[in-house]
Structure 1
Amino acid sequence: MIDFKKVAVAATLFAGMFNYASAQNTAYSWSNLPKVSTPTFKKDTINITHYGAKPDGLTLNTQSINKAIMACSAKGGGVVLVPAGLWLTGPIELKSNVNLHIDRAALVQFTDDKSQYHLVEGNWEGHASYRNQSPISGTNLQNIAITGDGIIDGHGEVWRAIGKDRLTADEWKALVASGGMVSENGKSWYPSASYQKGLTTPEAGYIKPGSSVKDVEPMKDFFRPNMLVLTNCKKVLLQGTTFQNSPAWCLHTLLCEDLTLRNVRVRNPWNAQNGDAIDVESCKNILIEGSTFDAGDDGICVKSGRDEEGRRRGKPTENMIVRNNVVYRAHGGFVIGSEMSGGARNIFVSDCTFIGTDIGLRFKTTRGRGGVVEKIYIKNIAMRDILHDAILFDMYYSGKSPSEEETVDNSKIPAVTEATPQFRDFYVSHVVCNGADNGLLIRGLPEMSIKGIHLDNIVLKTNKGINIIEGKDVTLRNVYVESKNTEPLVNISNSSEVTFDGLKYGTNTNLLFSISGSKSGQIKVLNTDASKAKTKVEFKRGADDKALVAAK
């Protein structure tokens, strides 16, 4: 049994050196935040009513709104005003140098007539795909904005399938009566037979050599559009507006540069299929601040393409600031992945609150993605009532999670290739979570550990504690864990160079550390009172007491 009272001088020096280096690294990074340029506009204003738009909720104003935008752009730009009223419309196409301003009392309601949305070549979850035209789109533009405190509604409920278990009995009955069709097993509702055809067709909509729009027309309903898609645009501002009820992802920015999202609201039903709030994909120089997200899927999400296609594009999401935001119900508060094959780097997240999300800080990938996610800096995060993990690093997204026995089996380790993803150099500090099922999960691959994870000043009040599987160079400093399940409080499997400095925990802890796997080693426990735990440490499945090299 290890003597936890033994002082390891080398380990103490190591910890001091690390703490100094880590503090210097993060302090320097936070003092050199990325710079994001914002657009400017002429004051000239065009009211959409000058082009025949009517706020009666009956007139389809597609042509009127788009004519106003084109006229404004042709004159050198300015403001296109959507005044008070309910404005029914089909797809809106933004143009350079135009600020589309939505009045506080205006509701832009996209039509539920799907014939108004033509099939176009687009992108879906990192793949080039045929999609229905987005309600709002812009490609190869400069100096564009959507501002104002009004509401933009995507009429998403007519596009999305939904499971019976995600509705009340009365809601399900009303939905079935409205049309569409029910699956053979009676558990799902589809908007149409066209939707079901796409659902049951492998790789439906993927753009392949020799394919055309005509090939996918029988499945048109299946290709739900993201509500706002901006592609290869520079100097973009979204400010003050509420975007809600999107058919799929709400806000999708792809290959954009100098993107600012300020005081925006995104509202999607909790059960909205693929109802992400915002997906920033392969973009550079981004600021998201003062915004509120309530989504059916991930809240604030970073992406950069999927698998070989994303690696071939080779455009990381980089130089990103996320601050002073609130995320309510969502699959993740702040998320990177899982389509991150082009990489992500130099991302700064601070002063955010997550309430009721499935996961708080969520970093996900899987074999086949490739890509490197690195230099991620996070501080001052408050969380409450997190359904699953407060902080998650997981390389088994959408794959079969390994059993406890499999995590220590080193006999079948795949080779490292360009398709092997990497997570490294994360700095997370001053996080408080009051209520979650799991506190921290780090789960790397046996062929590629998750490396360089540094957490300090963390408070986790959870049902379960800390799991570190296939991690390397992991440091937790001044971490407090109050967990209902304390057998063990900390589980370490096939992980090395793991340091706990100043670990504190609840008084009811039965087993403090469980260490398993022959690859586990160089584990240091410093400035930690282990006497409160009934059992301090156990070694199993190939690990022995040499794995714990220093305890103080």
Structure 2
Amino acid sequence: MKKNCLLLLLLFLGFAAQAADIKVTDYGAKGDGTTLNTVAIQKAIDACNAKGGGHVIFPAGRYVSGTVLLKNNVTLQLEKDAWIIGSTDVNDYTNPDPFKDGLGVDVGWALIAAVDVKNVGIVGAGGVDGQGSKLKERQILTDTRPESQRWGRRPFLLRVVRCDGVLVKGVSLNYSAAWTSHYFQSRNLQLEQLKIRSTGVAHNDGIDIDGCQEVRISNCDIVSGDDALCFKTTSSKMKCNNIIVSDMKLKSNQAGIKMGTESMAGFENISIRNCVIYDTKNGGIKLLSVDGAQIRNVIISDIKMMNIRTPILLRLGVRLSVFRKGQDVQQKTGLFEKVVLKNIEAVSADSTQLKAASGILITGIPEHKLSGVTLENIRIELPGGGTADEAGADVPEAIDKYPEVKTFGPVIPAYGIWARHVSNINIKNVSFRLRRSDGRPAVLLQDAQQLRMQGSVLPATKGAVSVFEIKTSRDVVIERSKVGAGPEVFIKADGISKGEINSKENQLPPGMKKR
């Protein structure tokens, strides 16, 4: 035992003796904002790796570069006022791991990439700026393809592919030409104290975790043009598993927290807590399985959302896309199991993706119900303004379509909760507040089974026929609800549902009929 410990100590000391911190300027890099430093930066990284690893130090300056690849045991250290600046020429970038995104576009080029390496990172008080808008402006002068296709040729700011042991801490990640940071099939990731400002071109996701395991993300401040914090599985071969996220500040032109736009493998054992989401233009929290993913043991808690559009969307669909052609096969339909959203406060923007705002959308498909979800201690403020005519709106099934709120619009026939093709759903202490009256029911259930709703608080409205509308549903329990005046009927149910509803201990205003 003593001999083994001594051997390990000698090996460690040998590695430490070889490890070297070097300055990128010693290898010819110039921080003048104009010199293309791709070759010099790569030489510094290679030299650091050859010496056993360490830090490649960037003194204050602006270092223009194309694609550089991190090597084993190398960390880029960006000192204060040190910036790696992306070249505005797309030809200065390479694609270390090509794939297609959820829209079917070829993507994967990057400014800084790490592929099949261990113990790498980017740390410090400096940052990386992709100059996304300038790169696009230059690109479209010669790339005549439609914008929906050519955007994929633009580089991500940071790509980490099949790596183990990654630290990204303290740095700023700004203005990517595509996704800002993408981590694929990697383990032992630590992302903390990041400041991301990435807007100006399409698809500026903030952080994309794609089939990664043992991940810790904390204390990041993200303002993104696309989804701020996004979990994906573009391959069926490795799920997102054992992930803890906390203390995030998220602003987005799309979603604050999204899981599953690309969803071939599972999302399991994930905790997201104590986050602020604000000024989002396409949703607060979205959990989606449309390519076969099993979403299991996911808890999202202690979330505050302000000025957001459509607070919650849960979707089980069957698009069943394959994103890495020749490397993967189509999956079977996925599922939700032990998914909990609790302790959430949300204030909706006045204008949303829908004609009139709705708070919570939950939908499976006729052959596959979305099940295994608990919503607990949720308070949502909505603008109201929906009409009684909109209560009769038909919502498209869109079983194989890209999963977005607008996919089910423009009208949702309930202002509070719309749940269709669901089972085993528990809703506890969910309350709504309206800034204006709304003529739609508070809750509409369609093809629901084993749904329990307890302790809800539903405001007074004018013009609505009922508080609840229930269609083709079985084993529904509604209890201890507190309801404001206005609607004539508490529960409106069709013939199939009437005998399947257990309503008890609800507080109704004088004159309101139970059914």
Report the TM-score when normalising by structure 2. 0.79
- What is residue 258 of structure 1 aligned with on the other side? 188
- What is residue 451 of structure 1 aligned with on the other side? 371
Answer yes or no: is the 8 Å Cα contact 2:467–2:487 preserved in 1.
no
Equivalent positions of 1:516-527 (< 5 A) are 516-518=470-472, 520-527=473-480
The CA distance in 1 between the partners of 2:178 and 2:296, in whole Å, is: 28
The CA distance in 2 between the partners of 1:250 and 1:542, in whole Å, is: 52
Match of 1:465 among 412, 416, 430: 416
- What is residue 360 of structure 2 aligned with on the other side? 440
Out of 333-342 and 429-438, give the one that drifted further.
429-438
* CA positional deviation for 1:376: 0.6
- What is residue 50 of structure 1 aligned with on the other side? 26
The CA distance in 2 between the partners of 1:296 and 1:127, in whole Å, is: 17
Choose between structure 1 and 2 for higher RCO, CA contacts under 8 A separated by at least 6 residues.
Answer: 1
The CA distance in 1 between the partners of 2:465 and 2:255, in whole Å, is: 30
The CA distance in 2 between the partners of 1:41 and 1:240, in whole Å, is: 24
- What is residue 493 of structure 1 aligned with on the other side? 446
RMSD: 2.7
Which secondary structure state, in structure 2, belongs to the residue aligned with residue 447 of structure 1? Answer: coil
- What is residue 361 of structure 1 aligned with on the other side? 285
* CA positional deviation for 1:435: 2.2
* CA positional deviation for 1:468: 1.1
The CA distance in 2 between the partners of 1:132 and 1:478, in whole Å, is: 44
* CA positional deviation for 1:222: 5.2
Match of 1:196 among 106, 123, 145: 145
The CA distance in 1 between the partners of 2:331 and 2:476, in whole Å, is: 30
| Amino acid in structure 2 at the alignment position of 1:482 | R
After superposition, the C-alpha distances for 1:51-109 in whole angstroms (9 at most, x for unaligned) are 11111112111111111111111111111111111111121211111110111211211
Answer yes or no: is the 8 Å Cα contact 1:430–1:458 preserved in 2.
yes
Shift of the 364–130 alpha-carbon distance from structure 1 to 2, 3 Å rule, reads: closer
- What is residue 112 of structure 1 aligned with on the other side? 88
Which secondary structure state, in structure 2, belongs to the residue aligned with residue 49 of structure 1? Answer: helix
After superposition, the C-alpha distances for 1:466-495 in whole angstroms (9 at most, x for unaligned) are 111111111111111113425201111111
| Amino acid in structure 1 at the alignment position of 2:316 | M
The CA distance in 1 between the partners of 2:482 and 2:285, in whole Å, is: 28
Answer yes or no: is the 8 Å Cα contact 1:249–1:274 preserved in 2.
yes
- State the aligned residue count: 439
After superposition, the C-alpha distances for 1:380-424 in whole angstroms (9 at most, x for unaligned) are 00000012x10110235999xxxxxxxxxxxxxxxxx95323223
After superposition, the C-alpha distances for 1:120-149 in whole angstroms (9 at most, x for unaligned) are 552232799865641110111100110012
The CA distance in 1 between the partners of 2:97 and 2:68, in whole Å, is: 17
Which secondary structure state, in structure 2, belongs to the residue aligned with residue 515 of structure 1? Answer: strand
Report the TM-score when normalising by structure 1. 0.74
* CA positional deviation for 1:465: 1.3
Answer yes or no: is the 8 Å Cα contact 2:335–2:370 preserved in 1.
yes
Answer yes or no: is the 8 Å Cα contact 2:97–2:161 preserved in 1.
no
Match of 1:239 among 161, 169, 172: 169
- What is residue 392 of structure 1 aligned with on the other side? 313
Shift of the 55–473 alpha-carbon distance from structure 1 to 2, 3 Å rule, reads: same
After superposition, the C-alpha distances for 1:9-31 in whole angstroms (9 at most, x for unaligned) are xxxxxxxxxxxxxxxxxxxxxxx
Answer yes or no: is the 8 Å Cα contact 1:154–1:227 preserved in 2.
yes
The CA distance in 1 between the partners of 2:269 and 2:127, in whole Å, is: 33
After superposition, the C-alpha distances for 1:290-345 in whole angstroms (9 at most, x for unaligned) are 0011111111111112xxxx33x3x1111111110010123111110121111111
Which secondary structure state, in structure 1, belongs to the residue aligned with residue 451 of structure 2? Answer: strand
Shift of the 317–222 alpha-carbon distance from structure 1 to 2, 3 Å rule, reads: closer
Equivalent positions of 1:91-490 (< 5 A) are 91-118=67-94, 121-125=97-101, 131=107, 133-160=109-136, 191-196=140-145, 223-269=153-199, 272-305=201-234, 310-311=235-236, 313=237, 315-357=238-280, 358-366=282-290, 369-387=291-309, 389-395=310-316, 418-436=331-349, 437-463=357-383, 464-483=415-434, 484=436, 485-490=438-443
Shift of the 542–69 alpha-carbon distance from structure 1 to 2, 3 Å rule, reads: farther
The CA distance in 2 between the partners of 1:479 and 1:418, in whole Å, is: 35
Unaligned 5+ runs, structure 1:
1-39, 161-177, 181-190, 201-218, 400-416
The CA distance in 2 between the partners of 1:97 and 1:225, in whole Å, is: 24
Answer yes or no: is the 8 Å Cα contact 2:54–2:73 preserved in 1.
yes
Answer yes or no: is the 8 Å Cα contact 1:262–1:290 preserved in 2.
yes
| Amino acid in structure 2 at the alignment position of 1:395 | L
Answer yes or no: is the 8 Å Cα contact 2:474–2:497 preserved in 1.
no
